[in-house]
């Protein structure tokens, strides 16, 4: 078995995954949404202190598996450095105490592996990664060969939901709430402009700061921010935020074939986005792959699934060489 730890942002999570058949034997996650809600976003120092309390609590429950654990895996990049350190320190302590090898796992590769929990990997695969920290279009030949097709120039897709939510007085993380409000709203009431439409260049990139600003001006212009207006703003914003993703995705695959397309990351739970991606895949005769809802946002099960691949490659690292890195640009070719 492999014991995996995730603490890259505000979710403390530990998983036990069986080596022989990829079975997820134990998985627990404690989120800190309530503690960060009042601040409208994650406060890194607070998140780190909470991990120091919650990770040992979860570890206590995983103790019955210790005798059969063969390696310790931990997310070491990318993420908030102060929170990554909590998981990495625990992993190093466990490695020494139990005499087990260490595996450092890239969080983005973890999200890709959320599609393969208790299952075989499937490559090549094109992936849209939409989370609070990332908005990336990737061509994944294997976990060692990932091509970055497009990324955001400023805010990420999930982050734009959080920021619009903050402007509307909604608690963090606002993504699921905005989706819920949008269901009751008129998506055509506010005519926000889809970002980067006029770019005649070959630029394949995402941008959410301009849309966020349009929404801010719209909110400020409302004399009465009643419930229906909030629903209409959420619906109009979501329509345009997703339309921007879809326009760039269509552009990326205009002259490129795609057989298997996956969507991962916390914001991949958005059903409106999934619907649009279904339509895109149908038009390309491609198959859309989605993670189970419980594995979209950060979790250790996906880190454990990625760790199975790293274990097979014997990609073990020494104690001193396992370092925390807040960004991970060099995973792309």
The closest of 186, 2, 193, 20 to 105, measured between CA atoms, is 2
| Residue 77 binding ligand KG4, by CB under 6 A | no
Q: Which does 267 bind (CB under 5 to 8 A by kind): Zn ion, ligand KG4, none?
A: ligand KG4
What's the rounded Cα separation, in Å, for the pair 130 and 249? Answer: 13
| Residue 185 binding ligand KG4, by CB under 6 A | no
What's the rounded Cα separation, in Å, for the pair 131 and 48? Answer: 20
| Residue 6 binding ligand KG4, by CB under 6 A | no
Among 87, 104, 175, 185, binds ligand KG4 (CB under 6 A): 175
Q: Which does 309 bind (CB under 5 to 8 A by kind): ligand KG4, Zn ion, none?
A: none
Q: How many residues bind Zn ion (CB under 5 A)?
A: 2
Among 87, 104, 133, 185, binds ligand KG4 (CB under 6 A): 133
Among 131, 156, 229, 290, binds Zn ion (CB under 5 A): 131
Q: Which does 10 bind (CB under 5 to 8 A by kind): ligand KG4, Zn ion, none?
A: none
CB of 75 to Zn ion, least distance (A): 9
Q: Which does 40 bind (CB under 5 to 8 A by kind): ligand KG4, Zn ion, none?
A: none
| Residue 269 binding ligand KG4, by CB under 6 A | yes
How many C-beta atoms surround the C-beta of residue 14 within 10 A? Answer: 31
Residue spans of alpha helices (H) in the chain? 33-37, 44-62, 81-98, 107-113, 157-167, 175-183, 209-221, 227-252, 271-283, 300-312
DSSP states along 99-112: T--EEEEEHHHHHH
What's the rounded Cα separation, in Å, for the pair 194 and 176? Answer: 21
What's the rounded Cα separation, in Å, for the pair 193 and 319? Answer: 50
| Residue 106 binding Zn ion, by CB under 5 A | no
| CA 323 to centroid of chain Cα atoms | 21
Residues near ligand KG4 (CB under 6 A): 9, 131-133, 158-159, 161-162, 173-176, 179, 265-267, 269-270, 297-298
């Amino acid at each position: 078995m492999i014991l995996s730890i995730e603490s890259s942002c505000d979710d403390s999570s530990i998983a036990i995954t069986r080596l022989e058949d990829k079975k997820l034997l134990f998985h627990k996650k404690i989120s800190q949404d309530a503690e960060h809600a009042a601040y409208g976003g994650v406060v890194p120092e607070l998140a780190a202190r909470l991990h120091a309390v919650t990770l040992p609590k979860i570890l206590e429950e995983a103790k019955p598996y210790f005798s059969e654990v063969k390696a310790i895996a931990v997310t070491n990049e990318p993420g908030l450095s102060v929170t990554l350190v909590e998981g990495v320190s625990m992993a190093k302590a466990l490695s020494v105490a139990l005499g087990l090898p260490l595996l450092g796992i890239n969080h983005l590769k973890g999200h890709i592996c959320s599609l393969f929990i208790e299952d075989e990997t499937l490559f090549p695969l094109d992936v849209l990664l939409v989370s609070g920290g990332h908005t990336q279009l990737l061509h994944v030949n294997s976990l060692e060969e990932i091509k970055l097709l497009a990324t955001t120039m400023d805010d990420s897709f999930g982050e734009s939901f959080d920021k619009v939510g903050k402007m509307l007085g909604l608690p963090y993380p606002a993504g699921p709430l905005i989706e819920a409000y949008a269901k009751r709203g008129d998506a055509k009431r506010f005519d926000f402009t889809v970002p980067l439409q006029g770019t005649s260049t070959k630029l394949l990139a995402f941008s959410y700061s301009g849309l966020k600003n349009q929404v801010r001006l719209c909110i400020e212009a409302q004399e009465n921010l009643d419930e229906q207006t909030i629903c209409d703003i959420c619906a109009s914003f979501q329509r345009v935020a997703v339309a921007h993703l879809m326009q760039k995705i269509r552009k990326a695959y205009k002259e490129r074939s795609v057989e298997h397309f996956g969507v991962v990351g916390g914001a991949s739970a958005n059903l409106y986005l999934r619907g649009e991606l279904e339509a895109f895949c149908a038009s390309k005769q491609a198959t859309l792959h989605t993670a189970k809802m419980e594995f979209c946002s950060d979790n250790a099960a996906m880190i454990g699934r990625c760790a199975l691949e790293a274990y097979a490659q014997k990609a073990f690292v020494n104690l001193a060489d396992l370092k925390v890195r807040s960004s991970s640009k060099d995973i792309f070719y």
